[in-house]
Structure 1
Amino acid sequence: MDEEYWAAVRGLRLRVADLLEALSPAEWDTSSLCRGWRVRDVAGHLAIIPTITTWDLVAATPRAGFNPHRINTLIARRNGSRDRADLVAQIRRHADDRRTARVLDARDSLFDVIVHSQDIALPLGRDFPVPAEHSRRALRRVWEMGWPFNASRKLAGVTLRATDTGWSEGAGPEVAGPALALLLLATGRTAPALDSLHGPGIATLKPAQGGA
């Protein structure tokens, strides 16, 4: 990961903090695109991910039934219950951080903040544009990483093509659109992604709401 990568992460984290600061209390408690998470839970996740430790994850494991998704959700909800201003301040304070728990992967930082920015913005009707190159880089990581999204397996049988940057993967009927929409699709946020996608492969896609 180069300086350009971390500059993108920092900039997006700061913009998410600005977005959150502008939201009303009711908007903070609105359901996000991330299944089972409110906007404040997404904020809680983004606030803690640069400083979370492996021990934090291990400590949450028994209560979460040793399920990785439930562990993530438990920690996000617990942290998201904090004061709104504190969460915004924490996101800003750690915008430059380049680490996370050892059992996680800092290479996920860019797609994590991009996808969660949309989890917050789209249900609220807010516009949060992301540079196409940032989305392309995040999309490439999600496509290659396998678990937890397993995008290349779940989207087998179609060709994905970004219309705003040079990225294409897969084989079969084409699904084309902005890299950001393809990133949402690849991370399981099919329904909101479809609004910006086109092509004969669309008919094979099943609407779904994304996980964390």
Structure 2
Amino acid sequence: MDRTAIWDTVHRERSALADLLETLTPAEWDHPTLCPGWAVRDVAAHVISSPQFGLADLARALWQGRGDYNRAVFLDARKRGRKPVEQIVADYRRLDGSRRHPPGTGVRDPLLDILVHTQDIALPLGRHHAMPPEAARTAAERVWSISFPFRARRRLRGVTLTATDVDWRAGSGPEVRGTMEALLLLLTGRTAALDRLEGPGLDLVRPGAGAARGS
């Protein structure tokens, strides 16, 4: 996907997430997501923080997180998630079309963010939102190319990942096959779509398998 296609997808997917958020009950806004310790409101606020997050925000978050990036992101999301839910949804509408993204990130990062976090929200709520396969492939290429924060190549060492709906393949070893959506969730450390994957390498990517094989 080129830069224009990526941003077009980001905007469509953010709009779709905003549509979903508008249907939620108060209890659903506080429902746990696939991100441990994060409620729906936290993830939703985090996603739309991307076009609002500047250098000063980054410095403040890192200071509050005592230099721990993951903790900094979590604390920032919790703070933003305390806003009224109407304001969170309004931010999606207000920032529709924005191409701003946090310092130190590239154009593929907002795409990865919206694709995966939409599933983080939707799946635990029993909602369905199909991930665009071509966009998921672009996001997967980004995840596979970097070590932090997902460490996908290390975690999934010893298996071959093969998409069944687009042309994408990575790794070496026994095969794990499935849709690009299911593979992207696996690449980013989610286990919620393991039942949508198959192949002789599947047992090697289940939780606890790494310790069993000494990785």
The question of a shared fold, defined as TM-score above 0.5 by the shorter chain, is answered with yes
Who is 2:31 aligned against?
30
Q: Can you list the C-alpha shifts for 1:150-182, whole angstroms capped at 9, x where unaligned?
A: 111211100000001000011000000000000
Counterpart check, 1:207 vs 2:207: yes
Q: Distance in 1 between matches of 2:114 and 2:206?
A: 25
Shift of residue 46, structure 1, vs aligned partner: 1.1
Who is 1:165 aligned against?
166
Q: Distance in 2 between matches of 1:139 and 1:60?
A: 27
Is the Cα–Cα contact under 8 Å of residues 108 and 139 in structure 2 kept in the other structure?
no
Who is 1:14 aligned against?
15
Q: Distance in 1 between matches of 2:86 and 2:29?
A: 11
Q: Can you list the C-alpha shifts for 1:9-30, whole angstroms capped at 9, x where unaligned?
A: 0000000000111111100000
Moved over 4 A (4+): none
Shift of residue 104, structure 1, vs aligned partner: 3.1
Is the Cα–Cα contact under 8 Å of residues 50 and 100 in structure 1 kept in the other structure?
yes
Who is 1:78 aligned against?
79
The equivalences for 1:124-139 within 5 A come to: 124-139=125-140
Who is 1:154 aligned against?
155
Name stretches of at least 5 consecutive residues in structure 1 with no aligned partner.
none
Label 1:95 to 1:143 Cα distance change in 2 as closer, same or farther (>3 A). farther
Name stretches of at least 5 consecutive residues in structure 2 with no aligned partner.
209-215
Is the Cα–Cα contact under 8 Å of residues 46 and 91 in structure 1 kept in the other structure?
no
Secondary structure class of the residue paired with 1:176: strand
Who is 1:69 aligned against?
70
Is the Cα–Cα contact under 8 Å of residues 13 and 113 in structure 1 kept in the other structure?
yes
Shift of residue 115, structure 1, vs aligned partner: 0.2
Q: Can you list the C-alpha shifts for 1:35-77, whole angstroms capped at 9, x where unaligned?
A: 2110000011012111101211211223212100010001101
Shift of residue 136, structure 1, vs aligned partner: 1.1
Is the Cα–Cα contact under 8 Å of residues 40 and 80 in structure 1 kept in the other structure?
yes
Who is 1:198 aligned against?
198
**Aligned residues between the structures:** 207
Q: Distance in 2 between matches of 1:149 and 1:113?
A: 16
Who is 1:45 aligned against?
46
- Per the normalisation by structure 2, the TM-score is 0.92
Q: Which amino acid aligns with 1:142?
A: V
Counterpart check, 1:144 vs 2:145: yes
Secondary structure class of the residue paired with 1:147: coil
Secondary structure class of the residue paired with 1:169: strand
Q: Which amino acid aligns with 2:159?
A: V
Who is 1:95 aligned against?
96
Is the Cα–Cα contact under 8 Å of residues 15 and 92 in structure 2 kept in the other structure?
yes
Q: Distance in 2 between matches of 1:68 and 1:104?
A: 14
Q: Distance in 2 between matches of 1:109 and 1:167?
A: 21
Who is 1:104 aligned against?
105
Q: Distance in 2 between matches of 1:150 and 1:207?
A: 15
Secondary structure class of the residue paired with 1:200: coil
Shift of residue 118, structure 1, vs aligned partner: 0.2
Q: Which amino acid aligns with 1:197?
A: L
- Per the normalisation by structure 1, the TM-score is 0.94
Shift of residue 103, structure 1, vs aligned partner: 2.8
Who is 2:122 aligned against?
121
